[in-house]
Amino acid sequence: MPLNLRGADMTVSDKRVDEVVVRPDEHAGWRVEVPDKDRPQGVFVTIVADSEGALKIAADMYPTAKIQVVDSPPET
């Protein structure tokens, strides 16, 4: 069954998302990071193989959010 993400601009906690960060993952691929205080480190993370895929997922899942692209992995 295909997953339809269009029009969904909420995290798992159903809160409105104003900003999404897309950045390289420290291990491999790219991260789509969405603020969520109920998640570890306050962020809901999706890992995607490449930057184009990450940007597409961010835009499809959070069409009203500002998408910020960061060129470095998160600090650990």
pLDDT in tens, 28-75: 999 999 998 888 888 889 999 999 999 999 999 899 999 999 998 888
| Paired sense of beta strands 66-69 and 30-35, if any | unpaired
Measure the CA–CA gap between 35 and 42, rounded to whole angstroms: 6
Asked whether residue 36 is assigned to any structural domain, the reply reads yes
pLDDT at 11: 45
22 DSSP β-pair partners: 32, 69
The parent domain of residue 64 ranges over 19-69
Number of domains comprising the chain: 1
Asked if residue 76 has pLDDT above 70, the reply is no
Q: Would you state the structure tokens that stand for residue 9, as one six-digit string?
A: 């601009």
Does residue 35 lie in a domain region? yes
Q: What is the DSSP letter of 49?
A: S
Q: Is 56 part of any domain?
A: yes
Pairwise CA distance, residues 18 & 34, whole Å: 9
Q: Please report where in the chains the tokens 């969405």 appear, as a residue.
A: 34
Q: 33 lies in a domain?
A: yes
Please report whether residue 9 resides in a domain: no
Q: What is the dihedral of CA 21, 61, 10, 33, to 10 degrees?
A: -20
Is 8 part of a structural domain of the chain?
Answer: no
Is 40 part of a structural domain of the chain? yes
